Structure 1
Amino acid sequence: MSYTDLAKLTARFGADLLLQLADRDGSGVVDDGVVDGAIADTDAAIDGYLAGRYKLPLANTPPLLADLAAAIAIYKLHTYEPDAKIAEDYKDAMRQLREIAAGTIRLPAEGVEPEGTGASGVRVTDRERPFTEQNLKGFI
């Protein structure tokens, strides 16, 4: 399941920017293969962060993930240095993915359950005391 697609990227960033970034052969048409490759890389990165906490694939794409995917995909489409806004959005998206993986940010997705880590709480065991008042009777 993809978290974003060409239509969403076009709606968010505009057809002109996508044409500049994804027209690698100079034909004046967006190369779908280039965009699909960036989206696939983006999906793999997001799944890598989510896999430790959520069962994949997700039933629905939460709006936060769609936003993060768009920021990451447009960054990955850049062959050269992106402008400051796109680079900052990418860094922010990666920071939010780390927070999702750590559990600081919880996704509001239906049917998504965090995987348990096993036992919870503290378990303390103690051995029987070898020297008690009864054992030392006569020595004290």
Structure 2
Amino acid sequence: MPYATLDQLIDRYGTPVLINLTDRAEIPAGVINQAVIDRVLADTDAVIDGYLEKRYALPVTDVPPMLADIGQAIAIYKLHVFQPDQKIEDEYREAMRMLREIADGRITLTIAGKPAAGSGSSGARLTDRERPLTEQNLKGFI
């Protein structure tokens, strides 16, 4: 399931913006180019999956609102051929920061109970070994 959809992008940014960013024909058709949108959304999904694969089982079936928001910010940034305005760039940087925090475990997602398989250990690991300092070998120091 994609993290962002065309309908979400239209709701957030509007049809005229998306037409302007996707209609790249020599003679503009005045419609949203679905092929451009599909390519950008696939690239966005790949970026997000790259950050999530360490901590969560993929594919994500129920997309949390936070990931949908991140996906929209990345997709609109990627649609820009030239320098985007400051707001778009700031949202993109914030989305990438959040992805890094998700990958590091500082932000935890509740994704339908599908955390990635761990190492099997839970908690501290102790190794019991011979004690190097005993009463016998510390005579004179104690």
Same fold (TM over 0.5): yes
Q: Deviations for 1:55-107, whole angstroms, at most 9, x for unmatched residues?
A: 00112000000000000000000000000000000000000000001110011
Whichever of the two has the greater Rg, that structure is 1
Letter in 2 for 1:55: A
Between 1:109-118 and 1:44-53, the stretch displaced more is 109-118
Count residues in correspondence: 135
Change (3 A) 1:129 1:98: closer
Aligned counterpart, 2:44: 42
What SS does the corresponding residue of 1:112 show, helix, strand or coil?
Answer: coil
Aligned counterpart, 1:110: 112
Aligned counterpart, 1:125: 128
Instruction: Structure 2 unaligned segments of length 5 or more: list them.
Output: none
Aligned counterpart, 2:16: 16
TM-score, structure 2 as length reference: 0.87
Change (3 A) 1:30 1:126: same
CA distance in 2, matches of 1:130, 1:79: 67
Correspondence 1:38-77 to 2 at 5 A = 38-77=40-79
* Structure 1 residue 2, shift from structure 2 partner: 0.5
CA distance in 1, matches of 2:64, 2:117: 18
TM-score, structure 1 as length reference: 0.88
CA distance in 2, matches of 1:131, 1:2: 62
Change (3 A) 1:90 1:127: same
* Structure 1 residue 113, shift from structure 2 partner: 1.9
